[in-house]
Structure formats: C-alpha cells, structure tokens
Chains A and B, each alone.
Chain A
Amino acid sequence: MKFISKYRRHKFALPTLLLLALAGLGFTFSAATAAPAKNTMTASAKTTLIEEGQQIFLKGCTSCHGLNAEGGAVAPSLIGVGAASVDFQVGTGRMPMQDMSQQAMRKTPVYNEEQVAALAAYVATLAPGPAALRNEDITWERDGNTAEGGELFRNNCAMCHNFAGQGGALTQGKYAPTLMGVEPKHIYEALITGPQSMPVFSDKIITPREKLSVIKWIKSAESEPSLGGAALGRVGPVTEGLVAWVLGLGLLVGCCVWLTAKAR
C-alpha cells in the first residue's frame, strides 16, 4: 500500500482513478447485460437472428436444399437436422459445397460465426433437433479421461479415422477425414449428428461424458510430439516400407557404390 500513498498526490492520480472507475463500471454493465442475453434472449432479438438466418439461407442454400429446406435431388432435407448439424457443416466450411462431385471437405468457412449462428437458429426452427454447442460447453479437459477415450476411440472411430485420427479410405472414393486440428465442438457435433458417411453415436451408446473422453484422447494424440522421430504420416507400415527402401536401402546402395569406386 506504500505505492498508493506515495503516488496519491501525483498529477495523474485523479485521471487514472477516474479511468479505472469508468472501465470498472463499463465492465460490470456489459457483464450484467450480456449474461441474461445468452440465457433468455429477448423474443425480438431471437426473431431478428432467425430472420437473418433465413436471409442467408435463401441466398446461399436454397439452390440445393430447396426453398423450404425440404431437400432436392443433390442435397438432403434439413428439416429436423438441428442447429448442431448446421454448426458442424457450415462452421467447418463443408457447406456450402462448391464441388458436388466430391465429398464435402473441411475448408475455410464461408460464413462468419454470427452468420453460422443465425443460419443454425433458422434451421432449428424448422423442426426440433440437436442444439449447437460452444467450445466452452465441451469441458473435455476437465471431464474427459484420455485412456478411456482411447479405448472408445479404438472401438468406434479408429476403423475409419485410423489409429491416430489421421483419416482413411472408404468405398468409392469417400474417405474419413483427419481429426487433427478439428475444434472440440465440431467433433462433438459430428458424433451426435452423423455428418456425411459417418454414423450417429447416440448419447446412450457413448454417453456425453464418454464423448468428452474421446475428444480428450484425440486432442492428446494431436498434441503428442514425435516420440520416436519423424512421424511419417502416422499411417502405418506403408510409409515405413517406402522409407526403408528409398532412404535406408538408397543410402546403403550409395555407400556400396562409393565403397567400390576407384579412388583418385
């Protein structure tokens, strides 16, 4: 407290104090107003969000999914898919799809977060479905268990996404994408909505807490450093064989040639 008593008569003391007070007031105010807005969004705000979502939908989605999201020849109906599905598909950039010949892949999202939220809110009004999640809701670091997640992952996920979540081939050119760098909420949403070829993992089969464990395991695999050197893509013996032939045997045959070459 010496600090305060020493500087209390400083010429900047008053303005600093005032600034602090103002900032504190503003913070309290914003916190006070923001908290209820999340929980009980006023009816009018909600309507605006839905309307905004509808506008985006009409502009960006109707050509494939139909004017009333009833689906079409190339795209499924969105009635009842829920906000979670929209958040996953649009939030990971899979939708809108640019090239219909391929599987929807992760890319830079076209819409920003607010737009995704609006779109999700709109689609959620069509019929009830799983709600969208926020990364803060996914408390994998606190509630997940890595070892249990690994067990679940190997039983339910590794067959498509490979033992280290690197992805793998499915039939006819479809593939299970890599899980590296995917946001926790998107992993969770994928588990409950079953996007594209992926099946749904119901909450009774893999409980919400178990889902957090799966996410924790994926995150642990993602952040695991190279314990034994270059990871070689973590796809198993194919790249290892390639390295053994090209680098290993290549180096050694090079040595053979040097060994028997005539010295000058």
Chain B
Amino acid sequence: MSNQLEPLADPGVPVATVRRADIDPIAAKRAERQVALLFSLSGLGTLLFIYSFFFIKDNVFIFLPVLGNTNAHQLGIGIGMAAGLFFIGVGLVHWAKTLMPNTPAVQERKELRSTDADRDGLVATAKEGVATAGLGRRPLIKASLAGAAALAGLPAVIMLRDLGPLPGNSLNETNWKSGTKLVTDPGDRPIKASDLEVGAVAQVLPELLPGQKRTLEDIGKDAVLLIRLRPAEFQLDAERLSWTHEGIIAFSKICSHMGCAVALYEQTTKHLLCPCHQSTFDVTRAAKVIFGPSARPLPQLAITVDGDGNLIAKQPFSEAVGPSFWERSS
C-alpha cells in the first residue's frame, strides 16, 4: 500500500537532557526554595481571601486602572482565592519539572485485539448459553419477549404526557377582543389618538378587566407596538388602511420569525428592526419584510376609537402572532 521503500533508520529514544539541578547541588537547592516560595505565595493568597472575606465591607470601592471603580471585597476574595490555588499548581509543576526525574520511560503497547483462542472461547461460551437456554429452539419465547420488552418501554414515553396541555387553538388566540382598550405598558393608562404625536411610539397591552391578572404568557402574545405616522405615508390596501386610525398603526410586537420583541423603530425610515436576527419590517407597507430571515409581516391589529376617544381594538388579530408552527394555515 505505501511506497515506504526504505525508511531512514530510527536513532532511538534520545537521552534525557541534563538539568542544572541534576548536577549542581546549589541549583537544586535554589529550585527547592523556588518551589517553597511558590507554595508560600499560595498561603498568602489564602490569607488575603480570609482577610477580604471578613474585614473588607462589600460597599468599599477602589479605583484601579483598566478595571475602573472596583469592589474591593469582591476583588480581594477573588484575587486571594486565585493566588491561593494558582500558586499551589505552579509550585507542583515547577517541582515536577526541576527536581523529579526527567529520564524518558518507554512502555510497550499490547495489542488491543484479543487472542484467537479467547475469541473462539467467547463464541463457544455464547453459543453454549444460547443452546442451553434453548433460545434457538423456542421461537415463541424469543418473539414474545421481544414484544413485551418493546411494549414495556412505552410507559416511559406515555408518562410524559402530563408535562403540558395540548396546544388546541391557543396559539391562534390572544386577549385582544373587539373593543379591548389599548393601555400603556407599563402604566396601564388608556390612550387617546391625540396622545401620540407624529413620529411617536407606544408599547401597549390589552386593558385588564377587574380582577384579572396579567401573566407572562399574556404579554408573550398580546404585546403590541403603536406607531403614529402621517396618514399620507402609508402604502396600504384599503382594508389595512381601515385598520389604522388617523395615522396610528398597531403591530404585534412578537416577531414573526422567532418571537423576540420587535421594537426598534426608526422614525426616519419607518423601519422596524428585530435585534435578535435583524429581520427588518417596513411599517408603511404593513410591516412587509425587507431584510433578514423572517418570512412573514408582523400581524397588524385593527384599531379604532371608542366613544370617549380612547383607542380600542376593532377586532382580534386576524392571524396567529409570533413564530410559525406546523398547524398555522398561512
């Protein structure tokens, strides 16, 4: 296989280099002192740790270059612990390197493969076992055992059933109903159209009914971003335009890609950017994706005002918010 015609001769394992400490007792003594010094440094580190832990208050700050204003307690115990450990290690290694024998040792490898006799023996033993157990002669036992064993594994999977509820229709639903008031997040104040100037944004959530509590799951699908533009800036079809109110447009804040909060609104370009994967949406064109990995626009929430002039949802979201899933129809 190889063209190893005639390889160069192997000169053999080189002899160990002679270290200063091997021949010079003074150098050996020096090495010994160095090791001892390193171990002592470790001891000092541990003392620093103990001192800092008990006697430096955690509201003491010292100014250090590079680090800036640093917590002396944290730095003291950290550096102390680091030194206490590091110098033990360095001492051990220095000891091994300078004073322990450095003659290379050679050990033979034995072949991993078992001897033929052992292998044959194994085969014979295994076969004998099979024969005495009658596995070959009693197929019924074999088949029923295999079946039972396979079935016995099922409970392990089935028992996981109660880890969570079935999804049902929950991914398609949010708390936005027809007529739900938009309230500020945080603050829970209703919003009037006149509260927003052109170029303004607001993070909003559906209002809480009395006695209701808002969970993180709710925020995870209800969060909405409100943006006010000049009505002339919209490039929407008639239906989508009717979902806006006096230049105010509302989008789900949960990214249609992977569900991060999309809220980086650029007032000049009217673009929305998701900081997770940089999908970019054009607000004037109903959050059409103009860059990045997202494949769908952000769902738009139809809004209008109620009798008091407060902004309300005209209807629930017309599609599921957030990332895609198998059961999603569009």
Contacts and interface: CB of A to CB of B under 8 A. Distances in A.
Q: Do A and B come from one complex?
A: yes
Interface string B192-232: 10011111111100000000000000000000000100000
Contacts of A151: 186
B11 interface: no
Q: Which of B66, B97, B264, B267 has the most CB of A within 10 A?
A: B264
Given A171-B271, A231-B68, A263-B98, A225 B61 contact: yes
A160 B268 CA distance: 15
A229 B273 contact: no
Contact of A263 (B19, B184, B267): B19
Given A200-B199, A264-B19, A226 B186 contact: no
Contacts of B196: 202, 204-205
A26 interface: no
A196 B267 CA distance: 7
Interface residues of A, number: 39
25 contacts: A159-B261, A170-B266, A171-B269, A171-B271, A172-B269, A176-B264, A197-B266, A199-B227, A199-B265, A199-B267, A200-B198, A200-B200, A201-B200, A202-B200, A205-B195, A207-B187, A210-B187, A226-B71, A228-B71, A229-B74, A230-B68, A259-B97, A262-B102, A263-B21, A263-B97
A176 B267 CA distance: 12
A248 interface: no
A200 B61 contact: no
B291 A171 contact: yes
B313 interface: no
B75 interface: yes
Given A155-B186, A159-B261, A159-B275, A174 B266 contact: yes
Nearest to B16: A262
B186 A202 contact: no
Contacts of B97: 259, 261, 263
Interface in B312-326: none
Contacts of A231: 68
B304 interface: no
Contacts of B197: 200, 202
Contacts, number: 109
A171 B185 CA distance: 26
Contacts of B70: 225-226, 229
B263 interface: yes
B273 A171 contact: yes
Given A155-B185, A199-B267, A264 B71 contact: no
A170 B273 contact: yes
A229 B102 contact: no
A205 B187 CA distance: 9
Q: Which of B21, B61, B268 has the most CB of A within 10 A?
A: B268
Interface string A178-200: 00000000000000001011111
A228 B68 CA distance: 11
B195 A202 contact: yes
B123 interface: no
B69 interface: yes
B67 interface: yes
A216 B266 CA distance: 25
A229 B75 contact: yes
B107 interface: no
B71 A199 contact: no
A257 B8 CA distance: 30
A56 interface: no
A105 interface: no
A181 to B, nearest CB: 14
B266 A230 contact: no
Q: Which of B74, B184, B197 has the most CB of A within 10 A?
A: B197
B202 A205 contact: yes
A172 B20 CA distance: 64
